[in-house]
Amino acid sequence: MKRKGSIWGLVFVLLLAILSGCGGKKPAGSGSESGEPAGGDAKKEPVELSFWYGWTGTEAAALEKLIQKWNDIRPDIRVKGLSQSDYQKQLTAITGGNPPDIASNFGQDVVPWGERGAMMPLDDYIKKDNVDLGDFVPAALSSSQSDGKTYALPIAMHVSMLFYNKELLEKAGLNGPPETMGQLKEYIAKLSVKENGGKLQRLGLWPGVDAFTFSYAYGGSYYDAENKQVTPDNAGVKAAVEFGKGIWDQFGSKELDRFASGLGQYMSPQNPFFTGKYAMTIDGEWLPTFIKQYAPNLQYGIAPIPYDENNPSLKHPGNVTTSVFYIPKGVKHPDESWKFLKWLTEPEQMAEFTAAIGNLPTRTSLQQHEIYKDVPGFQEFLQYSSSPNLHSFPATSFSAEYMTEFTTQYNAILRGEVGVDEGLKRVKDKIQPLVK
Amino acid sequence: MIDSISGKTPSRKKGWTRREWRYFWLGLVFASPWIIGFLIFTVYPFFSSLYFSLTEYDLFNPPRWVGIDNYKAIMEDRSFYKSITNTLFMAFISVPITLFSSLLIAMLLNFKVRGINYYRTMFYLPAVIPGVASALLWTWMLNPDFGLVNMFLRWVGLPDPAWLLDPRFTKPSLVLMGLWGSGAGALIFLAALQGVPQTYYEAAQVDGANWWHRFWKITVPALSPIILFQLIMGLIGAFQIFTESYILAGGKAGSGSSLGGPGQSLLFYAVNLYQEAFIHLKMGYASALAWILFIIVMLITLLVLKTSKRWVYYGGE
């Protein structure tokens, strides 16, 4: 019996060692990290916040500069930045109970994550500190809001406009950019060049262009919040899909694939728009900066996205996407996290950061700011970003799946694997059951 | 230890002696690091994924029991069938081709020529390169304009496909990449080849067998257990293929563009599973997918093992 007891003792010691090995880490780690002050001492230990952001390289450097600025003026709250562009890491950190104190993400992740409880609603703080949400571009802010809750604040936004190659348009005898979708169609036909027995040499516009932007040009909408119906079969959305399909079929998958195979890298002087392989393109506010860098001699113009000629009220449509900051669920110092987040999204900091990385600010009060004076193309884009016809993809808990399925079916429709109506119905059939 | 072994026979009727019990427990204690690890990292996730597959679980909220709804939904999901088709293509086209080329390389590397060790190293080298690095390398090799592959094809006057852009050519691109890595399999074949007694070949030669007979009647049967092993490992690997698709099809997760490449032609089972789990936050659904994958792989493995009785020869028999 005595011997047996000693074995049990051994088991016990072993288990204890394992348990203490597992459990020991956490209190020690979190203790040193948080540095919770013992009392109301005057020499308070600074609170340390970890801040994960998705930018890298020079863009990360611009953000680090801001962090440095904060650390200089607020020694009591030290922020440590970490460039972490894998957003899945944020998920695991939050579910693992050890999240960063502030983090960046894409706007379309906000509501899916927020509604599931991964992000802290900021409304109480916003109310307490009188943050004027009215200053934010509505389409940009709406992607962070759901059911009257604000889960994140957008720091930067992106919107697409129509870029056109002035020389090529002139050569084709076209005066100025197309204004309506009907004109756009004509332009594409005129600007596309085939040689040697139908071999495509130049495209007016790549027909696989994102359907989201054109949906808004036709007054489309993806979700009917009142009736809780997803509406990929909405007339405007369908018109946009049919528009893409129409151009696609002029050339055919085989010819387009062959043509695409000869196109250069996007971020290089061989970008098809820079080399004149595309006469027009739909792209974001960063493109003028790239052009300045890679193709300084390109004669190009920036124009509003064309709209449905039957509906002039849809002038200046666009699809808005955002980058946001949020506070994950389960942070140890939500008050301090908020203070930093609020400071980052204040006009001064937002202007400095967005101008440095060539993104659009989300505050309307910044649209006249002189800091953007020298950013190429920004006058057009800043003006455009106040258009009332800008929309962002409806923020719902299922928007990620919705966008995936829509993109998948849109590509299948373009390639003729499925008809327009059937493809859009497939989207509806798959996504509607997710509506709660 | 010796005591317990020798003492076993007489005390069997009465059950274990106190001493045997003591050794039993002591043995368990010493094996416990593995046992505990096995329980925590294998048994627990195994059963919890079975449980999650019957729930709706988004990581943040407690799982909600939904019965077999996930399995029902999978059966109606087009992406599921697409991913199965793509994966089966890799399993039944890529695996045999790679296997055959491994065997071929192994036989070449079995020749006794000068500098054979350098050749062996050269062919094995690709296996040392991590998956992500080799996938990135191949995006350049297969670049339609500047890639070496198309430069060669143009040079010999063959059509140059848009490898990674054309849905018809994306999977063949992966087969090509797989071929490049067949040196790893060749090494295993080579080891087995060197274990085939030369006397067989000599005897066959005396009897007038040509090289084909020697290959087909001696080499292949002698290697059959290794072929079986490589076939099963290859099939399992094919069902888990992920990295190449994720890298080549531009894994821009979360920005609205779906994984899986042009026309979903690279949407493999594991890619679909990843998308459902980590982008759509449907852990329950993804767990159900994982279980279906488990069952498929098990069935295919059993099938291969069963048919193998007819073509695999073990030395002792």
Is the pLDDT reported for residue A25 higher than 60? no
Task: State whether B166 and B42 are in the same domain.
Answer: no
pLDDT tens column, B227-271:
999 999 999 999 999 988 888 776 443 344 567 877 888 899 999
Q: Would the pLDDT of B2 be above 50?
A: no
pLDDT (tens digit, 9 = 90+) per residue, A319-374? 999 999 999 998 999 999 999 999 999 999 999 999 988 899 999 999 888 899 88
- Say yes or no: B265 and B161 in one domain: yes
Is the same domain home to B171 and B209?
A: yes
Read off the pTM.
0.81
Q: Which residue has the higher pLDDT, A156 or A7?
A: A156
Per-residue pLDDT at A43: 57
Q: Which member of A7, A95, A400 has the closest CB to residue B254?
A: A400
Q: Are residues B79 and B42 in the same domain?
A: no
B8 lies in some domain: no
Chain A within 8 Å of B19 (Cβ-Cβ)?
A: no
- Which residue among B21, B32, B256 sits closest to A403, beta carbon to beta carbon? B256
CATH code of the domain in which B141 resides = 1.10.3720.10
Q: Which token pair is A380?
A: 């057009």
Read off the pLDDT of each residue in A238-258 and give the average, rounded to a whole number.
90
* Domains of chain A, earliest start first: 45-158+320-391 (3.40.190.10), 161-304+398-434 (3.40.190.10)
User: B21 CA to chain A: closest CA distance, Å?
Assistant: 9
Q: Which residues contact A246 (CB under 8 A, 6 or more apart)?
A: A185
**Domain end point (choices B30, B46, B70):** B70
CB A426 within 8 A of CB A418: yes
A295 pLDDT above the threshold of 70: yes
Task: Name the average pLDDT for chain A.
Answer: 87
Q: Which residues make Cβ contacts (< 8 Å) with residue B310, sequence separation at least 6? A: none
Taking CB atoms and an 8 Å cutoff, what residues of chain B touch A8?
25
B4 located within any domain: no
pLDDT (average), residues A290-319: 93
Average pLDDT over residues B103-127: 89
Q: Is the pLDDT of residue A132 over 90?
A: yes
Q: What is the pLDDT of residue A10?
A: 55
Indicate if B63 and B146 belong to the same structural domain. no
Cβ-Cβ pairs closer than 8 A, A with B, add up to 96
Q: Which chain A residues have any C-beta within 8 angstroms of a chain B C-beta?
A: 3-4, 7-8, 10-11, 14, 18, 87-88, 91, 94-95, 106, 108-109, 112-113, 116-118, 212, 257-258, 260-262, 264, 321, 329, 393, 398, 400-401, 403-405, 407-408, 411-412, 415, 417, 426, 430
Instruction: With respect to residue B206, please indicate whether it lies within any of the assigned structural domains.
Output: yes
What was the pLDDT predicted at B211? 86
Quick one: B269 and B213 in the same domain?
yes
pLDDT at B164: 81
pLDDT of residue A144: 93
Q: What is the pLDDT of residue B89?
A: 94
Same domain, B181 and B265: yes
pLDDT at B252: 43
> How many structural domains are present in chain B?
2
Q: Do B26 and A88 touch (CB under 8 A)?
A: no
User: Average pLDDT of chain B?
Assistant: 87
Chain B nearest-CA distance from A312, in A, is 29
Please say if the pLDDT value at position A124 is more than 90.
yes
**How high is the pLDDT of residue A15?**
57
For the question of an ipTM over 0.85, the answer is no
Question: Do B93 and B83 share a domain, yes or no?
Answer: yes
Domain extent, residue B135, equals: 72-311
Q: pLDDT (tens digit, 9 = 90+) per residue, A196-219? A: 777 888 999 998 877 899 999 999
Whether residue B136 has pLDDT greater than 80: yes
Tell which of A3, A6, A7, A210 to mutate to test the B interface (max B CBs under 10 Å). Answer: A7
pLDDT at residue number A56: 86
Please give the pLDDT value at position B142: 86
